[in-house]
Every structure is written in C-alpha cells, then in structure tokens.
Structure 1
Amino acid sequence: MKQPNAVGDLQLGERYINMDYMFFGSIAGSPLMRFFVSYDIACQWHINIWRRMLYYRDDTITIDGTGKFMTFLVPKFRLPAHIEACNLKFSFHLTHNVGQTDGEAPERGWADANPLARSTKEMGPGFRRDMMDDHFNDWNHKKIIALGYMMCRKVEKAVPEMTRMREALADMEESLGPGPVGEWTTMAVTWEADITAQNPFETMHKDQHLAKVRVKLAAEAVAWEAKGKEDAGVVKGDMHITELIAMGLQLEDQQVLAFDVAATGLHPTDGQHRAMIERTSKLRRKIVAWTEVQHKFFPALVNVQECEDEARAHASAGQSVPGLRVSDMALWLPSAVATALGADMEGVTIAKAMQEHEYRLHVGQANEVLHEVCRLLLVRTHLYKLKDTHSRGVWANMRSGDKIAALNQQVWRAAAQYRAARTALEALGRVLNKKEWEWTLLPLREDDIRGLPQASFHDPQCKKKRVEREISWIWVNRGEHLEPGDDVAMNEGMIYMIFQERITLKARNDSEEVDLLEEEMWRIRQFLLWWEEWWKAKVDRRGLSEGPQREGETAYALRQAGIQAALAEEFAKEWVGLAGIISRGRAGEDMDDVVADSDEEGSDKSDVGSSGEEDEPIPSLPQRTVKPTYVDEVLVM
C-alpha cells in the first residue's frame, strides 16, 4: 500500500536524507510495535538511522522508539549481490515470523506508476502531486477489492507447499540420522536467540581462490627475502618464480580456444573470423614472450623445445613443417615436466619449492573455476525458468535457446579449465606426496555438471514427474585443509544441503506463511466490518436539520458502509473451504487430493487442466468475477 507521506521526489538519487524523510514520515504516529523494513541497501542505511533522526530535529519525522522493534532486511532478489555477511544478517529466509515474504512489494508498484511519467513531466509541481495522489489512491483501492481472490490463491499455493516441505525435511532427516540434524538444529536455534553465537549458516572453511593464494605466496616471498633465506634461482631480474607460474596458468587458460571456435559454427561471420585470428595471434606473441623469460629460470628447456621441433620436422618426412596451433604449444610448467618422459627431460631440474608454488596456485585455480561452474549453473537454472514461464512463440524461444547455448559454452569452458588444473594437481601430488586434493577436488564428469535438485521444489508437478537425483558433489563446500573422513567437512556439506538449500528453513517459512495468511484473512474481514460501522457512525454526526444536505450525507455514508459490508460478504464467500484446507494441511494429509477436491467444488474459480501431461500448456490465472452493478457503483463514486 502507498502510505501518506511515503512517496517523495529525489534530487540526486536515493540519498539518505530523502529516504529518511519518507521512511519516518510514513510510520510517524503508527501504533504498530513490530516493523520489518525492506530496503535494497538496508545493511548500510540502517547503521546510523537513529542518530540521523535526532540530528534532523523535526517533530513531524521523529518517532518514539519506546516499545518498538525494527528488523531491517534486504529484498530476496537483491540480496545475492551483497557480500556473505549481508546474506547472513539481512535475509528474509533466516528471519522468523516473515513467512515467504520476499520484500520486493515496495518495488512492484512502480511498474504501474511508470507510465505516468509521460504526462506528469509536463505538469507543474502542485498538479503533478495531486495526480500522483489520485493514482496511488486508486492503486490502494484496487488492492483492497482484490484481497479476496489474492488471499484465496495464496492459501491454495502455500498449504500444499507446506506439506511438501515437511515431507522433504522428514526424508532428509531420515537419511542423515537424528544426531547431526539435531546438533545443527540446536545451533540454529541458539544463533537465532543470540546472534553472537556460532552461526551455522556460515561456512566454517573458505575455499582458497587463485587471488588469495597469490597474495599469500607474495607475502611469503617477501618474508623469506627479508630473512635472506630465499632459494637460489627463484628470482631472475625483477620476476619471482610465482609470478612466472601464475602468468603460465593464465596463458594455459587462454589456450582453451576450441570452445570459442566451435561456438562460431561452421560458417563464422567476417567479424567472428577476424576476432579469432587476432586473438590467436596475440596469444601466440604472449606465449613466445613468456617462453623467453621461462628460459632464464630453466635453461635446459631450450633443448627440450629444439628436440620437439626436430621431431615434428622428422614426422613431416621432408615436407614443409606445418604451423603449430597456438592451443597445442607446450608451456612446460613444473607439472608438465614432472610427467614428461624421455632422455631430453633428464637435464631439466625443478626445485621442490617451485613445484609447491604451482601446486598451491592450481588448488586456488581449481576452487575458483569450480565456484564459477556453480554460478553459471545457477544462472542457467534461472534462464530455464524464464524460458518456460515467459517465452511464447518461435522468436522468443529461439532467443532464449541462444542465451542458454551461449551459457552452456561458458560452463564447458570452465569445466575444461578445472580438468586441466586437476590433471596438473595429480602430477604434482605424486611428486610432492600430497593426497588431500584427491578428496576435496574430485574428478568432474559430465554427469556431475548439473544444477541443484532443490530447484524442482518450486514446481510441484515437475517434482512428481521427474526422478529426483541426489545433489552433485560440486555443491558441497568442503573447504581447505580438510582430510578425508573429517567430521567437520561432512557436517559442512550436510549443513549446506539442509540449511543453505532451505529445506529446513523453507519448511519453517512455509508453515509461518500459512499462519500469517490465516491471521491476515481474519483481520481483513474484521477491518471491513469495522469500516462499515465507522461509516454508519457518520450518519447525522453533524446534527444538521432536515433537508437535502442531511439526506445527501446520510445516503453517502450508508452507501460507503454498504460497500464495505458487500466486500466482507464477498470475501467470506471466496474463502469458503480455506479453513478446511489449512486444517487438513496441518494434519499432514495429501494436499494434491485436497486441492483437487477444492477445484471440483469451486470449478468456476480455477481453469487448471487435470491431464497431467508433460506438454500441457501453462494454465492462465482465472479472472476474478466482479458484479457489473458493483463496478458501476465504483465508477459513479
């Protein structure tokens, strides 16, 4: 709803002084005691909000905080863009008594108000604000008369979801056992009561990404150099061996051009062909320049590369030596030297410290690429949902398919980078006698690259028709420095599946959603009945004498009272049977049968097909029936 004084003009964006004025002005004088405040940047905005309120020294926007509780949250759609700390402290998912509220309601009204810009931009300030007030009043009125249908549909969706989440939670607890689940549930309850306690939703071990590993290696190199204990041969000129290896890893990633070539198709355009030639030539020059620096650290590699050239010339049997593709140019990193065989490699010696540096860099690279694969899979799941929901017609489906195909190319490219990093780790692991990577970084098969199975929970029909597979290992965050069989690591993966994937949280939030809907329906009807009596109390309140003025005011007040009574009666008719659905859902009955019975009883309210076929079109929401006489009354009013 649009509150009085809750909408205002901005001069230089969403500055705190503007947002503070509208926020305090909208809740000033409110008798409410508990507020859930949803704002895109609530994590920053709320920090000094009370200090700013006192600084303004304005009674109209100063509220008495005695007995009031404020909970500041970030809307669900925008929260993933924030840092992990914000995702833990300002999440609707981790907050009690909000149900399935997403916090995006303040934004939805702008889609209806944006078209006003074409006419209001030519108006003066006074007339423009009057027109905006009229529009927002109409918005509030339309929301009120639609409450009956809206609440009915929300209950019919929330109750089956509540029962399904309870079943999913029971299945998960049964498979994992009561011990770990009870331990983590106790931690969650303790954290909700005291946020200074250990947070079960925060990962206890962080993956080491490439940038973080390079920072540590650089800091260690500076420390060893300051002590004068740096190994001989690790610095040539102004370059450290870790910098050389890091540059080699970047070149190795850029060599994965086969995916880009395949993505252009059989008939690339001139622009695509030009871009591929320029990119390949530039990469070849980079590799040549890097190789010259590499020879300073490992002079014996010059002989190895000369032997390679002679072998290719001999294989050509006297013919001209074909050019070597840039993707096939060997970089001869320490991991490649460790696995190479032949007499040519006998003179190449790699210090253990250099192999250790590359090993650590590859661990960070593999973790980083693995997180990139998960991120891309989440984006792909979102695109699939958008395509199924909104794409209609050949043009829309082709564009959606092109976007998904391009994203798949990125997924396979990242998977190839991970496999290359793991191959190097396998070679270095044998030399350095390291085994922990075998458990933390498993082989990435084609079948492992799949989205989260919990995504199908949002589509009940999809969940019933498809066989649910267990979660892929790429979604279980084991972290660093964990040995095989480590209970901490196993619990880390379990907590990710149970809590981070919201099976437990969603079961709780769905139950709260049903409770809130039931309470809200009761309050809506009580408010309408109170509003009816409020209008009736207006009759003859001014004590006017008999005449047209008194008759007109009496007729108007009674008419408004009749409208509120009619709305209350209409809502009660629309909500017939909802109490039974809620009670049967709480009792754990099969809600598919309950909803089916409800649809049969009120077939005029639902147009959903019952064939259950995979290719059944998505049903459209039924139109809410409104009596023509009531519409006429509203228009006349």
Structure 2
Amino acid sequence: MTADSWKHQTYLDEFICLEGRGNTCHSCHNCGDSDAVFCCEDCFSVALYCQSCVMNLHQNMLLHRLKKWDDRYFHPMTLKQLGLHIQLGHSAAFDDDFTVIDVHGIHEVALDFCDCEYASSHYKQILRARWFPATSTDPQTAAPFTVLKHFYLLSFESKVSAFEFYHCVACRSDNTGVKPMKDQYSWCNLKALKWAGCGHDPAGVSTTKEGEIVVLCLTCPHPGKNVPETLEDISPGNQWIYSLFLAINANFHLKCQLVSSDDRDPGLSQGWGYFIKESNYKVYLQENASLAQEKSNCVSHNAVNMVDMKSSKGLTAMGVGTVVCTRHDMWLANGIGNLQKGEKYLNMDYIVFSALSHFSSSIPSINFSYDIACQWHKKLWHRVSTALPLQLHPSSTQQYRFFIPKFHLAAHIAACQTTFSFDWSPYVGRTDGEAPEHGWADINRVAVSTKEMAPGTRRYVLDYFGDWNWKKVTGLGRTLLRKITDATYAEQDHHHALVDLEGSIKQSELGAASLVAWTEEVIAWESDHTKPNPFNSQSQEITQATVCLALIQQDAKDLEEGSSISLHSEVTPSILISTGLDIENVQNALQCHIDSWIDIQVLYMPFIAHFRATGLSLSDKGTVDETTGCPKAKLNSIKAKDIPLFLPSSICNLTTCNAKLLEVEWSLCLAQANDVLEECRSHIRLCHQLLHFKAQQIRRQSLNTRAQKTIQVVEDRLILSHEKQLDHVGWECKFLPLRKSDLRPMGDLGGRTQGTAIMSWIWHVHGIPSDNARLVLHMEWCKMRARCNQWFEEIQLLLEEMRRVLEFLDWQAKWWEAWVTLHVAEQSEDNEGLVAYAKHQAAICRSLSAKFRALWHHVTALRLMHRQKKVLLLMRPRIEISMS
C-alpha cells in the first residue's frame, strides 16, 4: 500500500468512525448519567449528553442540530422535539409551528410570544430577538440577522440568488427529498434605508426621496458637501475643475421575462435607489410612443438604426440603460432604467436627465460620454423641450459637451474621431469615458437569475450597484494615489517631449512664427468646433507611382555620390576626412579607393603606419609594405569592410592627433548624421504611405505582389540607413541611440494608447522640408500639445478629487453626528440605538478620512508645484458651448 493510499484509508476510517459514538465515553459528559444518547452536530464537542444536560446546554443555542443514538445509529432530532420552547416575553402565547431559516438548515421551533398587556406586536418581538420576520402580519417564518448578512455577502461577492441560497439551506436540513421543501424566502431594503439615515429622520421612512438611499460618488461635485454651495465666485478659468463627467451606456444581458407585473410585484423601493421610479417612467413612454428615431449618418450603428427590429417577444425589458460617473466608475441615483425596445433615444433621454436631476444646477459644465453621442446629441434639446417632463429639464445656465468613449471612437467616421474625441479636447484630463463597461463584468453574473424574476424583485436585486459603489469608495485611497503618481510621471515625459519638439521647430526653417500660428489655430478650434480642425489630416496621399519615382531619384542620387569620390596628390584635409567617411559607408565596393586613401593618409598622419603594423594580428610571415605598414599578404586577403581606417576620432585616446583633423571629422560626422537621419525619415514616410496605399487601393494578387516588392525595397533602404546612423550616434546630445523601435511614422503610437504615446525623437531633429511633411508635423504638434495639457489637467482634477473625498467624508461624519440630537425617540432603548448607530457611522467616515490622509501625505508637495504651474494652463480661453 502506498503512502497516499494509506492516508486515504486512514481518513476514510475516521469518517466512518464518526458515524458511531466513536471512542468517547458513553456516559453523560456533564453529569455522568449512563443514559447519554444525545450529540450536537454544531457544537465543537462530540461528547454524549443526557436529555436534561443537552437541553440546559442549548438554552442560548436554539438552532443547533441534535442527533439521538437509537437502534444502533444516530437519528436527527430537534430541540423542539425534546420540549424546548423559545420564550420572547413574560406570559406566553404558544406558536408550535414557527419556522426559522438558518445557515445550518430550516428549523421548526416552538416559539412563545409575550402576551402581557405591555407586549409589542409579534413581528416587533421577533425583530428584538435579532430575527427578521417574513411578514409583519402574523409572522410564521423568520431568519436571524446573521444569516441575512451572510446571504448579502454571498450575493455581492458570488452573485448567489435568494432562491439558490434558500435551497442550499434546505438541502442541509434534508437532502433526500423525503420531506417537502417550502419555497419561502424574503429580503428587504431596510439595511439600505438604515445606512442612508432614513431611520433617523423624524419625518419617517415615508418621506424618503427618490435616489436617497444610494452610495454617492465622493469624487463628483456635490455643492454644500464637497464644493461650495455656489460657484459664481470661482473664476472662469477655474470652473472647468468643477465639471461633472457622466457616461451613458446600455446593457442587453440584463433582460427581464414576462413572468409577472408591477401591479403584482411593485417592489419595496419606489425609485429610492439606483432605478428610476417605474410609474413616472412608464407614463412618459406611453405619452411619447409615437416619437420617431432618427437614423445615423455616421456609420450604421445598430443601437440607432436597428432599435425597432430587435425582438422583444416574451420580455418586459430587453436590458437596461445606465448613467454612471465616468471618472471613477460609480453608479448614480436614478441612473438606471429598463429598455423595452432597444436603445431608443426616448428611453435614454429620461434616464440621463433623471440621474442629472440629483446634481445641483450650480455645476458649471456637464461632459457626456456616449458611444453614439455623435447622433444622440443632434436633436437632444428639441426632445428635451417637447417630450421630457418639466421636473427633469436641465438648467439653461450649464454648459454641455459630448464625447465618444476612446475604445468605441475607432468605429466612427473620421470627422467624429476628432470632433468627439477625449484625446484632443481641453478640460477633460485623461478621462476615457469607458466606465460603464467595467461595471458590466461584475453585474452580468446575476443576469441569469434576475431574468426570470418579477419586476420589483429584479429591481431590488440589481441594486447590487450599491455594493459596487461602496467598494469603490473604500478603495479611493489607493486608486487616487496610483492615478496621480502615474499622471505625474506621464506629465513630465510629455512636457519634455513637447519642449524638445518645439525647440526643434524653432531652430528649423519653420521657426517660432509657425508655433504661434498653430497655437492660435488650435485654440480657435477648441473654442468653436465650426473652425478648421487642426487634428484632421491635411497631408496629400501619395500614390504608388510617386513612390516608384522617389526610389528612382534616390538611385540616381546614390550613383552621383559614388562617382564624386576622387583622390589626388593635392587633397586637402577636409577632402581627406570627407572621403574617409564616404569610404566607411561603401567599403565593400571601394577596395581600390581604400588603397589610394591609405597612401595619402600616411602623409597627414605618419604615426598610422605604426598602428597598422601592430594593430593587425599576423598569422603568417608575409612582408610588410613600407608605405602603409600593413602586411602585403594580409591586405590581399582581408575584406575591404574589415580594414581599419584609423580616423582621428578612433585613435585620439591612444595618441595625440591633429586638432584640425579632429575638428573637420566632427563637423562632417555631424552633417552626415543629419543626412542619414533625414534619409531614415524619408524612407519611413515612403514606406508608411505605400502601406496605406496598398491597404486602400490594391486588391488583385498580381498588384499586391508588385506593391509588396516595392515596399520591401523601401524597408531594405531603411535598414541600411539605420545601420549607417548607428556608427555616429552620441556625437551630439540631440542624437539619441537609434533603435529600430524609433523608426516609425509620426502618427504611429508604437504600441501605446493615443493619449500616452510620445512621438519618436527622430522627428524632433531639424525641420522637414516637404510641404506634405509640414502638414503632418503640424498635426502631430497639435496632438502632442493636447496630450501634454491633458496630463497637466488630469493632475489638477485628481488633486481636486482627493480634496473632495476628504471634505465629503468630513461633512458626512458631521451629518451623522447631527442626527444624534435631531431625532429623539419615545423610548429610551430606541433612542440609545439611534445615538449608537449615528456615532458608529460617523466613526467609519472619520476612519476612512484618516486612512486616506495618511496615504496621500506626500501629495502636498505635488499640489504646491502644480499651483505654481497652474497659471500657464489657465491662460487658455474658456470654452462656451450653447444648449441650442
């Protein structure tokens, strides 16, 4: 028997042994009575007890499961069967058929209610025993608070439905199917009301307002809580910091089948949480059912054009539409509503402005992110004025801007990709607009169970959004710290890249005047999108014929450069070094020129003969040439590219070299580096344009093959240019090590996102002479400027959001402390509970605030630094966007 088999047998033997009385004493463990036949499955001990002792031990463990040794095996036994009654008061009103749902199973207990003249109602007596009754009218079933908390945690973390949880508990009681299973389970939203402070309101729960029991986003601007009540005193240049960022989206996984109705299951929460109030919503939809949906003129968006063709047979809701805080991915009050027939503007308008109605009209600007924003916004204000209920009308003093989420932007036409882009717009930081997509992954796990629920139950279960929000709140400390740390480094990188690019432009033939003109153009577009868009490409597309012509011209240039090499006895030092550099690039074809050049080199640099004599490893005894100092046999056998030329820069650390020669070589190498870098840029542009032309125009196999050969020629030339540049990098600080990853077009992101990419350094060195390249450089400068500004804005937004979080928590702690004295209950024990809960909630707020402050303690220096730089950004004009 193997060791593992032995372990299996041992474990199995122990399991079977526990089915009997084991090796324990068969007398009562407590009193020593010999009639010990009872054992508890839920107590730690496996000892046996007599009936009297087991009853005494379980006076406060009323839901433990017992078993009785009889007929040589254990039989299930309940405390009720042994005669135990649960006493709730003084005089008793017996109820022998009461059911308690516990994690250990479903228990039938004997419950004695208090029936004296001072007794409370039965459901209150059950509540005071920390059990939750299934109904307030003659309750027959209850569940301990600990079980409900256990269920809620499971439902939030594992998305277990109440039905599944109840059947799991029932199976613990009896998994044979012999006993009938009662399908009885319930839950409520009292915990949410309690957390929202509704229990402390002297006016009572009935006065709870729509959206009042949600977990608020602490980073959003809430006037009076984390921003001033009025923002009129804030300077126009600073008001963008108080903007609200909303993301709109729909989810068609969260369907609801036609299994009940709102009349039969209205739900416990009538718009108090994340769902809109269903009754008002349905009236609005019925009144505007004839409103036609406009077709998309961007691309064929199914969300726009196919709304009336989606099948809704057997469904009361095809999904839900939502509005969330797009900065930190938190669900908003009354920001969720059912979609009956696709993603209609009619539905989404109501949901959007229902969520927006919970924010103050003093917030200066609203930024909407929607994957079909380019179509949705067109007649939005007409629909608002003609169809939307008056109480949901937005403020006319606010500014509204519309964006498309970054991931969805590529699916739109070119005009939308610049007009509605987060990347090129000011005053949005590094917001991506994709927040709703993050939350769907979590909530979609309950889609299967909620699909067949009644409407009211489904809405309440989907308020898992509150758990999502709370987790976001408790994680804000590390989330904001990580974001601002990343943003600080990114802002520095992009700032340096922009400064380098602008410095190169100023030194080129474009000059500083171009930067001034470009800046005026981009600011004009940021203020008014009807002006020319600098982010739209204005460069001319190059054809395959143009590329072929450029290659022919390049060949002619190479031949011309090769034929210009000539050596003479009256060669000057400049010609000597220049020719040596040319030879270095074309050594394979210039053996004879090398020999002639070496002859003349010895005249200017006599000590070279010594280097040649000692620098070559002689494996043979050939004779040494007296002029060159090299073995004749070796010169005949060595390849031209391997012959050392001993240029001044390569030997200046070994011997004293003529300063004139060093100066000449320096200037010529610098010029050569510039020439080769321009050659690289030219080949990159040709290759990029040819690839684009091939993708757009070439379809047949023969043309594809021919185009691919042309592309390969250009790529080969680029590789050769790259190899030439490598020999001379580092001669001046502006020439960085040239890697293959640097050889990419200006618009190439190099595997990074649009907002984080930095243009390759090769485009910063010197101007680009062609008109087409100037247009490309102009657009790339606009993009680089936008990235640099946005990272700076992101830091400002994050610093402001961190301040808001701390201020909100301080406000909320004071708010809870105020409830201690505002609501005084009639009975002292109730009043003590009100005070205790309020103080506990205030302590939680202060603990979170202290934790966040400790995490962010070093951010103070960063805040001061950006306050000093702030004036540079705020010099830009305020963008005004009309609602009309």
- The normalised TM-score by structure 1 is 0.51
The DSSP-based 3-state class of the residue aligned with 1:540 is helix
Confirm or deny that 1:146 pairs with 2:475.
yes
Q: More strand by proportion, 1 or 2?
A: 2
Q: 1:446 to 1:528 in 2, by over 3 A?
A: farther
Query: In structure 2, how many angstroms separate the alpha carbons of the residues matched to 1:148 and 1:40?
Result: 30
1:148 deviates by 0.5
| Contact 1:369 1:415 (C-alpha < 8 Å) held by counterparts | no
1:7 deviates by 1.3
Matches within 5 A, 1:523-534: 523-534=804-815
What is the RMSD of the two structures over their aligned residues, measured on CA atoms? 3.8
- Aligned residue in 2 for 1:137: 466
Confirm or deny that 1:572 pairs with 2:853.
yes
Q: Which moved more, 1:19-28 or 1:36-45?
A: 19-28
Query: In structure 2, how many angstroms separate the alpha carbons of the residues matched to 1:469 and 1:523?
Result: 39
1:422 deviates by 8.7
- Aligned residue in 2 for 1:36: 367
Q: 1:553 to 1:162 in 2, by over 3 A?
A: same
- Aligned residue in 2 for 1:489: 772
| Contact 1:415 1:444 (C-alpha < 8 Å) held by counterparts | no
- The amino acid that maps onto 1:576 is H
User: What is the aligned-residue identity percentage?
Assistant: 32
Query: In structure 2, how many angstroms separate the alpha carbons of the residues matched to 1:42 and 1:546?
Result: 56
- Aligned residue in 2 for 1:180: 514
- The amino acid that maps onto 1:40 is D
- Aligned residue in 2 for 1:470: 762
- Aligned residue in 2 for 1:370: 691
Confirm or deny that 1:27 pairs with 2:27.
no
Correspondent of 1:543 among 810, 821, 824: 824
Matches within 5 A, 1:215-254: none
Confirm or deny that 1:119 pairs with 2:440.
no
- Aligned residue in 1 for 2:784: 503
| Contact 1:162 1:585 (C-alpha < 8 Å) held by counterparts | no
1:193 deviates by 2.2
Q: 1:59 to 1:497 in 2, by over 3 A?
A: closer
- Aligned residue in 1 for 2:794: 513
| Contact 2:365 2:398 (C-alpha < 8 Å) held by counterparts | yes
- The amino acid that maps onto 2:526 is E
- Aligned residue in 2 for 1:158: 487
Query: In structure 2, how many angstroms separate the alpha carbons of the residues matched to 1:367 and 1:174?
Result: 26
1:196 deviates by 2.7
Q: 1:582 to 1:65 in 2, by over 3 A?
A: closer
- Aligned residue in 2 for 1:239: none
The DSSP-based 3-state class of the residue aligned with 2:791 is helix
Query: In structure 1, how many angstroms separate the alpha carbons of the residues matched to 2:692 and 2:347?
Result: 39
| Contact 1:165 1:506 (C-alpha < 8 Å) held by counterparts | yes
| Contact 1:40 1:75 (C-alpha < 8 Å) held by counterparts | yes
- The amino acid that maps onto 1:497 is E
Query: In structure 2, how many angstroms separate the alpha carbons of the residues matched to 1:417 and 1:533?
Result: 76
CA distances 1:473-523 after superposition (whole Å, capped 9, x unpaired): xxx9xxxxxxx955x434202123323xx3211111000001111111111
Confirm or deny that 1:83 pairs with 2:413.
yes
| Contact 1:163 1:586 (C-alpha < 8 Å) held by counterparts | no
- Aligned residue in 1 for 2:395: 65
CA distances 1:202-256 after superposition (whole Å, capped 9, x unpaired): 223553889xxxxxxxxxxxxxxxxxxxxxxxxxxxxxxxxxxxxxxxxxxxxxx
Confirm or deny that 1:101 pairs with 2:431.
yes
CA distances 1:417-475 after superposition (whole Å, capped 9, x unpaired): 5356799xxxxxxxxxxxxxxxxxx945474896457645959xx999xx956369xxx
Q: 1:586 to 1:531 in 2, by over 3 A?
A: closer
1:154 deviates by 0.6
Q: 1:21 to 1:369 in 2, by over 3 A?
A: farther
The DSSP-based 3-state class of the residue aligned with 2:518 is helix
The DSSP-based 3-state class of the residue aligned with 1:6 is strand
| Contact 1:208 1:367 (C-alpha < 8 Å) held by counterparts | no
CA distances 1:355-385 after superposition (whole Å, capped 9, x unpaired): xxxxxxxxxxx9986326789xxxxxxxxxx
Q: 1:196 to 1:63 in 2, by over 3 A?
A: same
Q: 1:463 to 1:98 in 2, by over 3 A?
A: closer
- The amino acid that maps onto 1:85 is A
Instruction: Mark the runs of 5 or more structure 1 residues left unpaired by the alignment.
Output: 211-365, 376-409, 424-441, 477-483, 589-637
Query: In structure 1, how many angstroms separate the alpha carbons of the residues matched to 2:839 and 2:413?
Result: 55
Query: In structure 2, how many angstroms separate the alpha carbons of the residues matched to 1:505 and 1:415?
Result: 38
Query: In structure 2, how many angstroms separate the alpha carbons of the residues matched to 1:567 and 1:116?
Result: 30
Which one scores higher on RCO, CA 8 angstroms, separation ≥ 6? 1
1:129 deviates by 0.6
Q: 1:5 to 1:160 in 2, by over 3 A?
A: same
- Aligned residue in 1 for 2:345: 16
The DSSP-based 3-state class of the residue aligned with 1:2 is strand
1:585 deviates by 7.5
- Aligned residue in 2 for 1:3: 332
The DSSP-based 3-state class of the residue aligned with 2:338 is coil
Q: 1:159 to 1:367 in 2, by over 3 A?
A: closer
Q: 1:175 to 1:374 in 2, by over 3 A?
A: farther
- Aligned residue in 2 for 1:52: 383
1:198 deviates by 2.6
Query: In structure 1, how many angstroms separate the alpha carbons of the residues matched to 2:829 and 2:703?
Result: 80
Q: 1:585 to 1:193 in 2, by over 3 A?
A: closer
CA distances 1:299-327 after superposition (whole Å, capped 9, x unpaired): xxxxxxxxxxxxxxxxxxxxxxxxxxxxx
- Aligned residue in 2 for 1:74: 404
Q: 1:131 to 1:533 in 2, by over 3 A?
A: same
| Contact 1:97 1:512 (C-alpha < 8 Å) held by counterparts | yes
Matches within 5 A, 1:139-538: 139-177=468-506, 178-207=512-541, 370-371=691-692, 416-418=705-707, 443=714, 445=716, 447=718, 451=744, 455=749, 470=762, 488-499=771-782, 502-538=783-819
The DSSP-based 3-state class of the residue aligned with 2:366 is strand
- The amino acid that maps onto 2:373 is A
Query: In structure 2, how many angstroms separate the alpha carbons of the residues matched to 1:417 and 1:583?
Result: 60
- The amino acid that maps onto 1:143 is K
The DSSP-based 3-state class of the residue aligned with 1:71 is strand
- Aligned residue in 1 for 2:298: none
- The amino acid that maps onto 1:55 is T
* Number of positions where the alignment pairs a residue of Structure 1 with one of Structure 2: 363
Q: 1:131 to 1:463 in 2, by over 3 A?
A: closer
| Contact 1:72 1:90 (C-alpha < 8 Å) held by counterparts | yes
| Contact 2:796 2:866 (C-alpha < 8 Å) held by counterparts | no
1:546 deviates by 5.0
Query: In structure 1, how many angstroms separate the alpha carbons of the residues matched to 2:822 and 2:711?
Result: 83
Query: In structure 2, how many angstroms separate the alpha carbons of the residues matched to 1:422 and 1:544?
Result: 84
Q: 1:58 to 1:468 in 2, by over 3 A?
A: closer
The DSSP-based 3-state class of the residue aligned with 2:406 is coil
Q: 1:22 to 1:463 in 2, by over 3 A?
A: closer
- Aligned residue in 1 for 2:249: none
Query: In structure 1, how many angstroms separate the alpha carbons of the residues matched to 2:852 and 2:416?
Result: 40
- Aligned residue in 1 for 2:172: none
Query: In structure 1, how many angstroms separate the alpha carbons of the residues matched to 2:384 and 2:868?
Result: 48
| Contact 1:39 1:75 (C-alpha < 8 Å) held by counterparts | yes
Q: More helix by proportion, 1 or 2?
A: 1
Query: In structure 2, how many angstroms separate the alpha carbons of the residues matched to 1:99 and 1:75?
Result: 14
1:159 deviates by 0.4
Instruction: Mark the runs of 5 or more structure 2 residues left unpaired by the alignment.
Output: 1-329, 507-511, 545-686, 720-739, 870-884
Q: 1:571 to 1:415 in 2, by over 3 A?
A: farther
